[in-house]
Amino acid sequence: MNINVSLIEQVQATLAEALQTPIETITPELELGDLPQWDSMGHMEVMMMLEQKFDIEINNETITALVSVPAICDYLTKKEKTS
């Protein structure tokens, strides 16, 4: 996986905003459930924030796939290459 630093930082910032937590708590390997804020409600906040900031569409597949920082970065990288 070749994910650029800028994208990880953007994703970390997006998650921090969605979960209302300091950016330091969003580690590069963070997964759904690792923080109390990243629960089911928090996850949907993350999904909506990603939709808004990265112009992606929320559907069943994205909700179940984008469950960690690496998975989100990987998804956005692939999406960027195909667009």
Piece of 1-9, 16-24, 50-58, 74-82 that binds other proteins (CB under 8 A): 50-58
Instruction: Measure the CA dihedral 35/48/76/9, to 10°.
Output: -50
What are residue 31's phi and psi, to 5 degrees? -125, 160
Give, as ranges, the residues between 22 and 41 that touch other proteins (CB under 8 A): 33, 36, 39-41
* CB of 69 closer than 8 Å to CB of 15: yes
> Shortest distance, CB of residue 77 to other proteins, whole angstroms?
22
Q: How far is the CB of 61 from other proteins (least distance, A)?
A: 8
Q: Is 56 exposed, middle or buried (0-12, 13-18, 19+ CB in 10 A)?
A: middle
Q: Does 44 bind other proteins (CB under 8 A)?
A: yes
Query: Binding other proteins by CB under 8 A: which of 4, 23, 27, 58?
Result: 58
Q: Per DSSP, what are the bridge partners of residue 68?
A: 31
Which of 4, 27, 31, 48: binder of other proteins (CB under 8 A)? 48
